[in-house]
Structure 1
Amino acid sequence: MDNNKYKLLILDDDTLIARTISVIGESSGFETRATTSPESFFKTLDEWQPTHIALDLIMPDMDGVEVLVELARKECTARILITSGVGSRVLDAARRSAVEHGLSIAGVVPKPFSPGQLRELLNKDRDSRGDALEPDPHPDPARRRFEVTTEELEAALERDEFELVYQPKVKCADSDLAGFEALVRWRCPQRGLVPPALFIPVAETCGLIAPLTRLIIRRSIEWFAREVRACPELNDNPWRSSLVERLTLSINLSARSLGDAEFIEFVHEQCAAASIDPFCLVFELTETSAMEDPVSSLDLLTRLRMKGFQLSIDDFGTGYSSMLQLVRLPFSEVKVDKSFVMSAPRSEESRAVIRSIVELGHSLGLRTTAEGVEDPDTLEYLKEIECDLAQGFLISRPLPADEALAWARRHLNSWRE
């Protein structure tokens, strides 16, 4: 293994603890650097481009939450490990705050921690990420931090710079493959891989979300029909004989698409051309999106359900009107927000929320899905409370089309054994 691939930057005002974390990191295959100064920390961050960060919340000059906010402003993509001697509720609140700011959290470790506990977390996170931790091909911070322009997006669409990856979903009960979620990525020749959080909002505001959404739908349906539905070993099985047991393809739907009068006809035509039953498609819509234009949302979503498509309310539990939207709109699936799922191993409150959402969904006749599953204990808990589906890095990271199909075949063979 190339140790330089994994770089751990440590910020802790206790030099002994910083050194301890450094030693543990080095024993786990990380190159490490430690500092007690936020100023030195941010300078090293820009110059060194770490893949991981270990951050103490309680510091005299600049507290950990302030550091997290600044990391978000810098669009930091490193995996962050939060450590502190504060209570578990404060730690979980800091984690949720970091996630809300778009940061990637590897874990939360209360102080005092054991070397074995920290080593296990670092090893698991490193091994589960694989190629996802490859260094940024354009490490210059000035190149990474940029605002996407309408002209850039228009050019990217013309040059076909967008690509799709697919994240598998499995059944919690027996880990059988249930389907995939299609996710878009922008591979910009000048900027490298641009995260969706940067370009999707721009596409929505400048009127380009419609052509981008249609590109995603067209390309993902073609892949699903050509590779997944056409693969006998993935479909021609007695346990998938009924329609409700067929593999599904989930696609995120922007609120802006709800005002597209021709959207339903376009999707239906794509399914017909690919000989895909509409029931196999699941459109995921956040409750926030559904609230932007409630009348249009109700009209279009009702028509989608009438055509046979499935609908999922995404990020459930994070908005102020979740319950209202769940009852008001014709959803067929409720998706537990990953912030609850990822904190489940350490938080009884998060586990209670997950259980409540699953029970609520089932009481309304909805399928339930948990995203952000990263450890076996969480998957076991989801199985215990009878959550239907799960997705996350424990199962698989999002994969390019050919790798996703290969993963599905390997998983099926393993599942049969």
Structure 2
Amino acid sequence: MNETSSSANRLLILDDDPMIGQTIRRIAKMAGWDAEFTTEAELFFIQVENWCPDMIAIDLIMPGQDGVQVMTQLAKRDCRAGIIITSGMGGRVLDAAGRSATEHGLNIIGVLPKPFSPAQLRNLLTSETSVETNAGNTAGISAGIVQNRSNPSLNPADLQQALAQEQIQAFYQPKINCCNGSLSGFEALARWQHPTFGFIAPDHFIMLAESHQLIEKLTIQMAKTSLTWFSAFCQKPEIRSPSGINQGQLLKLSLNISALSIGDIALFEQIESYCQDLNILPEQIIFELTETSAMEDPTASLDTLTRLRMKGFQLSLDDFGTGFSSMLQLVRLPFTEIKVDKSFVLTARQSQESRTVVKSIIDLGHSLGLATTAEGIEDQETFIYLRENGCDLAQGYLIAHPMPANDVDNWIKHTGIDGLFREKNA
């Protein structure tokens, strides 16, 4: 393998056609990337382990192990690199392969149908300023955080120490009104920047918390931090003004709830107490749950969520459209919002099937009187499609990466609730 600069982003290419592989490598190098190419799966996995690429380009049709098998192996190895899928197969096959990889937990950057132009590849390479992990409820990484190239072996003591030392921080990703571009609120997301290991993926430490009875402590810590910040933010004059950036609407804060916490009445009572102390109305808080959360104990879920709604709290069904019983949970539980799964939103620009699913979910939500939110919006074309089809709220990198509290004011000032969003609606 050639010696390469350690400062440049790294692209690893697996393709059985040497000409195509070398072409991708050349285009990437011209775009400022370190790039390596191989035709052999065995060598590819050695390079993944030793070279730690930031992004990987995989051809679907390969002798021996095909691209789907390769991606399955990457998922088992907990690969955090961004994935570009390339193939001469039809769009439906590419879409299906992308969805398969996403469901395995891989971070799919996009699909690249063959033949492709240099511009198409460059667009995918430049679409990610940082390597993102697909972490379900807690997906998204601030552009200011660089992922560590190793996969550290963490134990409960590490997480306990992180909670005690407040290494796990609350980041905030804005949600805007699709119709008028006004600020609707934020989703609070847990981010762990370890002093030794660097960035720890949320799915990694949340699973650790769930497995060792630390999820309540993590949730309470996140809720207290987020609500304290949110209360102060809502008191700012530019927010409170009827003509302010949220155009007089109540801002809302979304908090993610683990499946293991649905029956934890004490946890919800503690969050309610925080809200009362901070003068936050229950109507301003959205508890986000996945379908899996709602299914963990159907009876307990129904009791708990009904009581929360009676108190005025809002409920969101996250990742809607990916589970076998999403519809059942939507009908039987008192949700106020559904969030279109990001796997459909991310592929909406290229896939007619994804656009059809997105529109169907929006229409279903409206027919049930629910707000609809699309997350994972990364391009203007997708935003326009969602707005034209009646989606209520938008969230994604096009609007903003998740950011620490100190960056929110700068984002509003420089990114432009008054500029960027007005342009979206021009």
TM-score tier by shorter-chain length is over 0.9
Kindly state the Cα deviation for residue 128 of structure 1 after the two structures are TM-superposed. Answer: 10
Letter of the 1:56 counterpart: D
Distance 1:135 1:31 in 2: 17
Structure-2 change in CA distance of 1:136 and 1:412 (3 Å): closer
SS of aligned partner of 1:125:
coil
Kindly state the Cα deviation for residue 133 of structure 1 after the two structures are TM-superposed. Answer: 8.3
Length-normalised TM-score, structure 1: 0.92
Unmatched tracts of structure 2, length 5 or more:
133-140
SS of aligned partner of 2:261:
helix
Matched, 1:14 2:17: yes
Is the contact between residue 51 and residue 135 of structure 1 (CA under 8 Å) also seen in structure 2? no
Match for residue 108 of structure 1? 111
Is the contact between residue 74 and residue 145 of structure 1 (CA under 8 Å) also seen in structure 2? no
Match for residue 392 of structure 1? 396
Is the contact between residue 13 and residue 36 of structure 2 (CA under 8 Å) also seen in structure 1? yes
Match for residue 218 of structure 2? 212
Kindly state the Cα deviation for residue 111 of structure 1 after the two structures are TM-superposed. Answer: 0.8
Letter of the 1:292 counterpart: E
Distance 2:20 2:247 in 1: 57
Kindly state the Cα deviation for residue 301 of structure 1 after the two structures are TM-superposed. Answer: 0.8
Match for residue 344 of structure 2? 340
Letter of the 1:19 counterpart: Q
Distance 2:146 2:128 in 1: 16
Q: 1:5 aligns with which of 5, 8, 18?
A: 8
Match for residue 279 of structure 1? 283
Is the contact between residue 312 and residue 333 of structure 1 (CA under 8 Å) also seen in structure 2? yes
SS of aligned partner of 1:60:
coil
Kindly state the Cα deviation for residue 131 of structure 1 after the two structures are TM-superposed. Answer: 6.9
Match for residue 189 of structure 1? 195
Structure-2 change in CA distance of 1:206 and 1:122 (3 Å): same
Distance 1:126 1:135 in 2: 9
Match for residue 229 of structure 1? 234
Distance 2:6 2:175 in 1: 32
Deviates more, 1:338-347 or 1:38-47: 38-47
Kindly state the Cα deviation for residue 286 of structure 1 after the two structures are TM-superposed. Answer: 0.7
Structure-2 change in CA distance of 1:127 and 1:287 (3 Å): closer
Distance 2:359 2:25 in 1: 38
Residues 272-311 of structure 1: CA deviation (Å, up to 9, x unaligned):
1111111111110011110111111111111111111111
Distance 1:133 1:62 in 2: 36
Kindly state the Cα deviation for residue 11 of structure 1 after the two structures are TM-superposed. Answer: 1.0
Distance 2:247 2:173 in 1: 23
Distance 1:128 1:383 in 2: 28
Structure-2 change in CA distance of 1:26 and 1:199 (3 Å): same
Match for residue 354 of structure 2? 350
Kindly state the Cα deviation for residue 44 of structure 1 after the two structures are TM-superposed. Answer: 1.8
Match for residue 138 of structure 2? none
Q: 2:264 aligns with which of 247, 260, 271?
A: 260
Structure-2 change in CA distance of 1:73 and 1:127 (3 Å): closer
Matched, 1:198 2:201: no
Distance 1:330 1:354 in 2: 22
Residues 334-384 of structure 1: CA deviation (Å, up to 9, x unaligned):
110011111111111111111111011011111000011111111010011
SS of aligned partner of 2:97:
helix
Matched, 1:80 2:60: no
Distance 1:73 1:234 in 2: 46
Instruction: Please state which structure has a larger fraction of its residues in helix.
Output: 1
Distance 1:354 1:274 in 2: 37
Aligned 1:59-70 pairs, distance under 5 A: 59-70=62-73
Residues 30-76 of structure 1: CA deviation (Å, up to 9, x unaligned):
12111111222222222222211111111112211111112112222
Q: 2:297 aligns with which of 293, 300, 303?
A: 293
Kindly state the Cα deviation for residue 241 of structure 1 after the two structures are TM-superposed. Answer: 6.5
Letter of the 2:321 counterpart: G
Kindly state the Cα deviation for residue 416 of structure 1 after the two structures are TM-superposed. Answer: 6.3
Deviates more, 1:126-135 or 1:42-51: 126-135
Is the contact between residue 128 and residue 394 of structure 1 (CA under 8 Å) also seen in structure 2? no
Matched, 1:149 2:152: no
Matched, 1:158 2:164: yes
Kindly state the Cα deviation for residue 191 of structure 1 after the two structures are TM-superposed. Answer: 2.7
Letter of the 1:181 counterpart: E
Is the contact between residue 75 and residue 145 of structure 1 (CA under 8 Å) also seen in structure 2? no
Distance 2:110 2:226 in 1: 32
Match for residue 310 of structure 1? 314
Letter of the 1:262 counterpart: A
Distance 2:131 2:180 in 1: 21
Kindly state the Cα deviation for residue 127 of structure 1 after the two structures are TM-superposed. Answer: 8.6
Distance 1:81 1:133 in 2: 23
Is the contact between residue 75 and residue 105 of structure 2 (CA under 8 Å) also seen in structure 1? yes
Structure-2 change in CA distance of 1:216 and 1:413 (3 Å): same
Kindly state the Cα deviation for residue 328 of structure 1 after the two structures are TM-superposed. Answer: 0.8
Residues 126-163 of structure 1: CA deviation (Å, up to 9, x unaligned):
499897486544x3x4xx153x4333322322232211
SS of aligned partner of 1:344:
coil
Unmatched tracts of structure 1, length 5 or more:
none
SS of aligned partner of 2:112:
strand
Is the contact between residue 166 and residue 399 of structure 1 (CA under 8 Å) also seen in structure 2? yes
Distance 1:196 1:267 in 2: 21
Deviates more, 1:168-177 or 1:120-129: 120-129
Distance 2:413 2:39 in 1: 48
Is the contact between residue 4 and residue 31 of structure 1 (CA under 8 Å) also seen in structure 2? no
Match for residue 54 of structure 2? 51
Is the contact between residue 167 and residue 404 of structure 1 (CA under 8 Å) also seen in structure 2? no
Distance 1:299 1:46 in 2: 47
Kindly state the Cα deviation for residue 207 of structure 1 after the two structures are TM-superposed. Answer: 1.6
Is the contact between residue 55 and residue 84 of structure 2 (CA under 8 Å) also seen in structure 1? yes
Length-normalised TM-score, structure 2: 0.90
Letter of the 1:392 counterpart: G
